[in-house]
Amino acid sequence: MAQPNDEMAVELRNHIASEFDLSSPVWLGARGDGTGGQFQWLNGTALSSDNELWLVGAPGTRDTTDHCLTMAVAEWAVTSYPKRIYDSGSCSSYRYTLCEEAPTSARTALETATPIAPPKELRTSVCPEGFFSAKGSTQCFKVVDKRMGSWSSSKRKCEKQGMAMAHPSEEVAVELRNHIATSLDTFLNLGTYPNVWLGARGTGEQFRWLDGTVLPGNHELWLEGAPGNRTTTGDCLMMWVAPWAVNNYQNMTYGTEFCREQRYTLCEIVGA
């Protein structure tokens, strides 16, 4: 997790604010140490409550071990606090993720680590190692990692790896959801964060897939009541994959969520 030094922290915040237009803060690598008035970075150094980079009034009494450090990157924060960036929030809250490149020794360990393979029952001869397909489909999908992100960040993550956000065919969408719900439940902790992003978003009046095709509002795969009036450009398509959704909506899987929310990334091989 990012641990920017004091000399460049404000400039880093300003860069993030101007380049990514985030509405919520990002996590940094420090949390309250519970001793009163102090945070501690993951490298063991202290972040004092009197550091000049704290927002006015922060951290206050929010220095317990269940409070973690955030960087205020929204436009209002840049305007109101041009020289202050640190705030604290409940460690269980949803925030954006900011990482920094690990030291050489740590990178070497990560590069040589054995990648997590999908369950054997999801592997098919039509897909490369590390991908899975629903029964009867030639589409090859991959849950990229355990990290959640906004719809836009998930789109970039897929594209960076030469893939596209998942656009399952209607014939396999439910079975794909069932596979993920039953085989990746433990891996993704689906009971807590029960959905993955798909490659469609609202256009103002309807949903449209990234390839330009329309997803009608009366499509039978929508959960009951969806999408309703949630068809603005700030609404994106997700697939409900929690076990309760499988049990209660056996033939429905599509739902809407604000595009800024944090969900898992499901990609597919382009042209598979």
Q: Is 268 exposed, middle or buried (0-12, 13-18, 19+ CB in 10 A)?
A: buried
Q: Which of 248, 268, 215, 244 is nearest to 256 (CA)?
A: 215
pLDDT tens for each residue of 140-179: 998 887 788 899 999 999 999 999 999 999 988 988 888 8
Separation between Cα atoms, residue 228 and residue 213, nearest integer Å: 19
Domains 6-97 and 120-269 share a fold: yes
Report the distance separating Cα 133 and Cα 66, nearest Å. Answer: 40
pLDDT at 103: 59
Q: Which helix (H) or strand (E) holds 6?
A: helix 6-20
Chain mean pLDDT for the chain: 80
Which three-class secondary structure state does DSSP give residue 22?
coil
Cα 268 from chain centre: 17
Spatial separation of the C-alpha atoms in residues 268 and 199, rounded to whole Å: 10
Q: What are phi and psi of 89, to 5 degrees?
A: -155, 165
Encode pLDDT of 53-67 as tens digits: 988 888 776 656 678
Neighbours of 212 (CB within 10 A): 6
CATH, range 120-269? 3.10.100.10
First to last CA, the chain: 35
| Extents of the domains making up the chain | 6-97, 120-269
| Contacts of 263 by beta carbon, 8 Å cutoff, 6+ apart | 148, 149, 151, 154, 193, 195, 196, 197, 238, 257
- The CATH class of 6-97 is alpha beta
Residues in the chain: 272
Taking the C-alpha atoms of residue 220 and residue 135, their distance in angstroms, rounded to an integer, is 20
213 pLDDT exceeds 70?
yes
Q: What is the pLDDT of residue 111?
A: 43
Q: What's the pLDDT at 58? A: 81
Q: Residue 25: pLDDT above 80?
A: yes
Per-residue pLDDT reduced to its tens digit, 53-110 = 988 888 776 656 678 889 988 777 888 888 999 988 888 776 778 898 865 544 444 3
